A and B are shown apart, each in its own frame.
Chain A
Amino acid sequence: MGKMTVVSWVTLFGMVLLAVLPPLFLMNGQAFYMDLATRLVILGIAAVSLNLILGFGGMVSFGHAAFIGLGAYAVGIPAHHATWGGFDLIASYNGFLHLGLAISISALFALITGAISLRTKGVYFIMITMAFGQMAFFLFQSLDVYNGDDGLTIDVRSEFPLINLDEPLQLYILSYVSLVGVMLLVRMIVNSRFGMVLQGAKGNNERMLTLGYNTYFYRLTAYVISGAMCGYAGFLLGNFTTFISPDMMHWTRSGELMFMVILGGASTLFGPVLGSSVFILVEEILSSFTIFWHLPFGLMLIGLVLFIRGGLMGLFKSKGR
């Protein structure tokens, strides 16, 4: 509203970079960077979805990768059956079917696990969401029909009219536009009456109860929205990698997502995107130097969290406090 703050300039600048740079790399024949950017943008969507509940709702979910996996399997399983037969009901390459399954199953999983998890708070909430995430991980690991641990490789991506996801540029554009869409959606929700209650409950739940808000249902609603959005990111990731395995749901993946949000700056619009960008780029750079890249990476992350309050976006908000 009104004047642009430093934060909104940074947001705009970052989003423009993401729109312009990857296609330029592609045109220069550097497809590798396009791949990197696609992964970064898709994980950015997942991080933005997590930020809705973590940053704005104060719900530290340690099981969000489960939604990515569910979304990806919503692509992989129908495609697998369309190729190899069986399960006629969903055996299809139809993108709308994949998309519908990804979002609805993620939302349902969020509804069930959220209804239980949100009865707890603090560390217990972290642990129980992680447990549900691991539950999904072990379920898919044990499903031999879908190759268990080895995962599914799909030969055909989700089919849509007009767009072809086999084209890296088109897949990137879809992912980028989705990211923008998800960011706008989160901004709308956060600023709405619903969002005010959600943020109020994060700051002071007792006060919100005293005012007459049954905060449990507000949180659950946010949790379901977040889960569905993250499932959508999984749908994109499945189409991007064409290799879908339980590893996508592992708790370390959830931890990475959480880290991206906190690194970039929770409860800011662009923070999670910045976080996922920095996370993936630094991971890429360090791993090109040494196979022991986890050590410097970990130390750097710890340093960032310790010394920069409010994540990287906090650097641009120095005025005021």
Chain B
Amino acid sequence: MIPLLQVAKLRKSFGGVVATDDVSLDVIKGEIHAIIGPNGAGKTTLISQLSGALAPDSGAVTLNGVDITFKPAHTRARLGITRSFQITSLVMEMSVLDNVALAVQARDGSSFRFIKPARSITHIRDKARDFLHQVGMHGRADDPTSALSHGEHRQMEIAIALASEAELMLLDEPMAGLGPTESQMLTEFLQGLKGSRTILLIEHDMDAVFALADRISVLVYGKVIATGTPDEIRNNRDVRNAYLGDE
């Protein structure tokens, strides 16, 4: 099977620190592939290179067989990759619905259209409401984004990732800062997406990772030390030593 995303020997260093050290991995269509690793392992740096926010020093990233290693973020988004942010990244000045509608609008032909008021384009607004409904936030659609809680912002991140209808969703710690109940709900929600979406998930919450992932790659000091099913990872000696053993 040809993987949806293929990462080959990706390398990125900042000064003397090698943040991404010959990372190779792939993501197969329909799977949830989780990346775990201790703090500072280079997880977010890796995601940034996949989403286009950072350029690698060497190596290659291919999506559906197309080389996207040095494509800018907006081109990758058009090709089918979207990311959510570890630190909430929303347009705070706009309403919740506006934020999601912008994601829908991005998939709805050119936005170089100047005449019709965007908020009166019903098929975009309805679709955006629908995505908010999916994450259980339809009640807050018309509130200003800045008025929402942290947990709700995290949910919006998910709604926006869904609304962008990307083939591959890069989720950077979607559970960050959530309470146990909220994490549990989000885990269940992501479980429901299984099969219909391909997700590369970075997450610290081990319960969530082992419940969700089809495969897990373990990143330590910029290197992938193991990739396998949750069971394989749980029983991997290197992983236990480097990471899980601490617990």
Q: Which residues of A contact B (CB under 8 A)?
A: 188-189, 191-197, 199-200, 202-204, 206-215, 218, 221
Instruction: List 6 additional contacts besides A193-B105, A196-B101, A213-B74; criterion CB under 8 Å.
Output: A188-B114, A196-B98, A196-B118, A200-B94, A207-B90, A215-B74
Interface positions of B from 102 to 127, Cβ below 8 Å from A: 102-103, 105-107, 111-119, 121
Nearest-neighbor residue (CB-CB) of B51 within chain A: A210
- Verify A212–B101 contact, CB threshold 8 A: no
Could you tell me the distance in whole angstroms from the C-beta of B63 to the nearest C-beta in chain A?
13
Check A192/B90 contact, CB under 8 A, given A211-B77, A212-B77.
no
Could you tell me the distance in whole angstroms from the C-beta of A194 to the nearest C-beta in chain B?
5
Nearest-neighbor residue (CB-CB) of B80 within chain A: A212
Q: Which of A188, A194, A206, A221 contacts B53 (CB 8 A)?
A: A206
- Verify B90–A204 contact, CB threshold 8 A: yes
- State in angstroms the CA–CA spacing of A64 and B38 once bound together: 51
- Verify B82–A192 contact, CB threshold 8 A: no
Interface contact tally, CB-CB below 8 A: 99
Could you tell me the distance in whole angstroms from the C-beta of B210 to the nearest C-beta in chain A?
28
Check A197/B77 contact, CB under 8 A, given A192-B114, A204-B90, A207-B89.
no
Q: Which of B93, B107, B113, B164 contacts A193 (CB 8 A)?
A: B113
Verify if B73 is at the interface (C-beta below 8 Å from A): yes
Verify if B72 is at the interface (C-beta below 8 Å from A): yes
Q: Which of B112, B119, B160 contacts A194 (CB 8 A)?
A: B112
Number of interface residues of B (CB under 8 A): 37
Check A195/B118 contact, CB under 8 A, given A210-B83, A212-B78.
yes
Could you tell me the distance in whole angstroms from the C-beta of B171 to the nearest C-beta in chain A?
12
Tell me the dominant secondary structure on chain A's binding face: helix
Contact partners of A214 in chain B: CB under 8 A: 72, 74-75
- State in angstroms the CA–CA spacing of A321 and B119 once bound together: 23
Could you tell me the distance in whole angstroms from the C-beta of B39 to the nearest C-beta in chain A?
22
- Verify B89–A204 contact, CB threshold 8 A: yes
Q: Which of A197, A199, A208, A213 contacts B93 (CB 8 A)?
A: A199
Verify if B178 is at the interface (C-beta below 8 Å from A): no
- State in angstroms the CA–CA spacing of A213 and B118 once bound together: 16
Verify if B242 is at the interface (C-beta below 8 Å from A): no
Contact partners of B51 in chain A: CB under 8 A: 210
Check A212/B164 contact, CB under 8 A, given A206-B89, A207-B90.
yes
B93, B98, B116: most-surrounded residue (chain A CB, <10 A): B93
- State in angstroms the CA–CA spacing of A193 and B114 once bound together: 6
Could you tell me the distance in whole angstroms from the C-beta of A110 to the nearest C-beta in chain B?
17
A-B contacts, 15 listed (Cβ < 8 Å): A188-B117, A192-B113, A195-B118, A197-B105, A199-B91, A206-B85, A207-B89, A209-B74, A211-B82, A212-B77, A213-B77, A214-B72, A214-B74, A214-B75, A218-B111
- Verify A199–B117 contact, CB threshold 8 A: no
- 7 cross-chain pairs, A with B, having the tightest CB-CB distances, nearest first: A212-B77, A203-B91, A209-B73, A191-B117, A211-B106, A196-B118, A214-B74
- Verify A193–B82 contact, CB threshold 8 A: no
Verify if B211 is at the interface (C-beta below 8 Å from A): no
Contact partners of B105 in chain A: CB under 8 A: 193, 196-197
Contact partners of A204 in chain B: CB under 8 A: 89-92
- Verify A192–B115 contact, CB threshold 8 A: yes
- Verify B94–A194 contact, CB threshold 8 A: no
Nearest-neighbor residue (CB-CB) of B170 within chain A: A210
- State in angstroms the CA–CA spacing of A214 and B73 once bound together: 9
Nearest-neighbor residue (CB-CB) of B93 within chain A: A203
Nearest-neighbor residue (CB-CB) of A195 within chain B: B118
- Verify B121–A193 contact, CB threshold 8 A: yes
Could you tell me the distance in whole angstroms from the C-beta of A201 to the nearest C-beta in chain B?
9
Q: Which of A188, A207, A221 contacts B112 (CB 8 A)?
A: A221
Contact partners of A199 in chain B: CB under 8 A: 91, 93-94
